[in-house]
Amino acid sequence: MQTAVMTPLASGDTLDHYRMDAEVARSGMSTLFRATDLKTGRQVAVKIPHAEMEADPVLLERFRREEEIGREIDHPGVVKTFDGEERSRLYMVMEWVDGKLLREILNEEGKLPIDRAVHFAMEICEALDNLHKHGVVHRDLKPENIMVCDGDRIKIIDFGIAMKEDARRITHAEVTPALGTPDYISPEQVKGQRGDQRSDVYALGAMLYEMLTGQPPFTGPNPLAVLNERVLNDPPPARELNPEISPELEEVLFRALERDPRHRYATAAEMAWELEHQELLGVGGGRSPSLRRRGFPGTKQLLLFAGLALVPIALFVVMLLLARR
């Protein structure tokens, strides 16, 4: 591939044999155009990195990794990237997908009918299972990265911070600014861990929770507060927000949203099976996921809690004695 000066493109411009028909999205790293392949006449999506992205080796590595993943994964639920012929500059050509982002649907409708929400979740599970079997972890699943097509079929898009198990690791310091989205990122990613396929399962659980209740599992005045809530607390039981949710479906949410990934679904296929066979599930009596999985506190834990509760009282007594002196 030849290297050229990165000049901004606009609708109507031509890049090699692609005509930029319309700008459809712009991020801090790239611009996405709906374009026409002048050789074949087909519509495609062309993603062009900004000049500063090509100058940054970490961002450049992410861009190339995203293109590689799109070429390797062949699944109807994952957006496809076309093989790159000789090009005059760095860009990516993907299939054009007609439809609506899941975010747009949620903005328009709020919570979704339960059957439709479960259908979307199972579709995403199927696509995730294929990704994970190819050693790919998305790491930024959110309604903005799910395209809903005709017949309510879905496609997962935007692999900008996806990870390949066999790829060179990008250091934590380099990826921290882009690791996930506060409403959907897993607790282990918040703690700075790299995350694995169970992190994608957590994000899917968060999306399913929002589809069923009309709100994400955690809310707060700012992103930091949301992240802190995710690490320390469990979300409100979904049935308190939508009584139409069955105990069995709430059980699926509990397990998908476990803070400890060891207690979460190990695979997306496992989550899909339980979504499909909810009538076979036992339920946890409405307790929080952490209590349901780990049991109630033992004697030592209760003594510890009691001791912690006495600390403020002890401090008050000490301060009172000092004041009297």
Q: Which residues are catalytic?
A: 140
Q: What is the dihedral of CA 148, 198, 282, 284, to 10 degrees?
A: -110
Phi, psi of 279 (to 5 degrees): -65, -15
CB–CB of 265/204 below 8 Å?
A: no
Q: Which residues of 10-34 are buried (b: 16+ CB within 10 A; e: fewer)?
A: eeeeebbebbbbeeeeeeebbbbbb
Q: Measured between alpha carbons, how far is 107 from 143 in angstroms, rounded to an integer?
A: 10
3-state secondary structure (DSSP) of residue 176: helix
Closest CA to 126 of 280, 279, 270: 270
Gap between the Cα atoms of 231 and 316, Å rounded: 31
For the beta carbon of residue 90, count every other beta carbon within 10 angstroms. Answer: 21
> Tokens 């709100």 identify what position?
215
Structure tokens given for 239: 């049935």
Strand partners, 32: 25, 47
Check if the beta carbon of residue 34 is closer than 8 Å to that of residue 22.
Answer: yes
**DSSP symbol at 164:** E
Q: Look up residue 67 and give its two tokens.
A: 């293109």
Residue 128 backbone phi and psi in degrees, to 5:
-65, -40
